[in-house]
């Protein structure tokens, strides 16, 4: 199962594709120096397969690479960061 995460800036969301099929997304809005995560959704066909975690990690890695901070308003992203303290430094 191949997983690919991309930033669809036109739709203001990170998307994850599994074997080419859209499996989920994390919506955001950009502010000065920050990415505010507002909503995350994973298709029910992909739940329990690590898709949400891969999406969170990929999105937050991209935020870090761009030198931005993360504002996790979305409960999923917030909970994921709490379980992965090595990403806590991204939280504004």
Task: Give the separation between CA 36 and CA 69, rounded to whole angstroms.
Answer: 9
Residues 28-73 have pLDDT tens digits of 999 999 999 999 999 999 999 999 999 999 999 999 999 999 999 9
How many other CB atoms are found less than 10 A from the CB of residue 13?
A: 21
Q: Is the dihedral of CA 74, 78, 84, 86 positive or negative?
A: positive
Domain ranges of the chain: 1-33+50-68
**pTM > 0.75:** yes
* Contact criterion met (CB below 8 Å) for 7 and 42: no
Supply φ then ψ for residue 19, to 5 degrees.
50, 40
């Amino acid at each position: 199962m191949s997983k690919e995460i991309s930033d669809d800036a036109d739709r203001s969301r990170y998307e994850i594709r599994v074997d080419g099929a859209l499996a989920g997304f994390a919506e955001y809005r950009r502010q000065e120096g920050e990415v505010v995560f507002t909503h995350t959704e994973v298709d029910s066909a992909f739940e329990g397969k690590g898709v949400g975690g891969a999406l969170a990690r990929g999105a937050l890695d991209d935020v870090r690479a761009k030198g931005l901070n993360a504002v996790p308003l979305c409960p999923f992203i917030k909970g994921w960061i709490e379980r992965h303290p090595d990403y806590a430094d991204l939280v504004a």
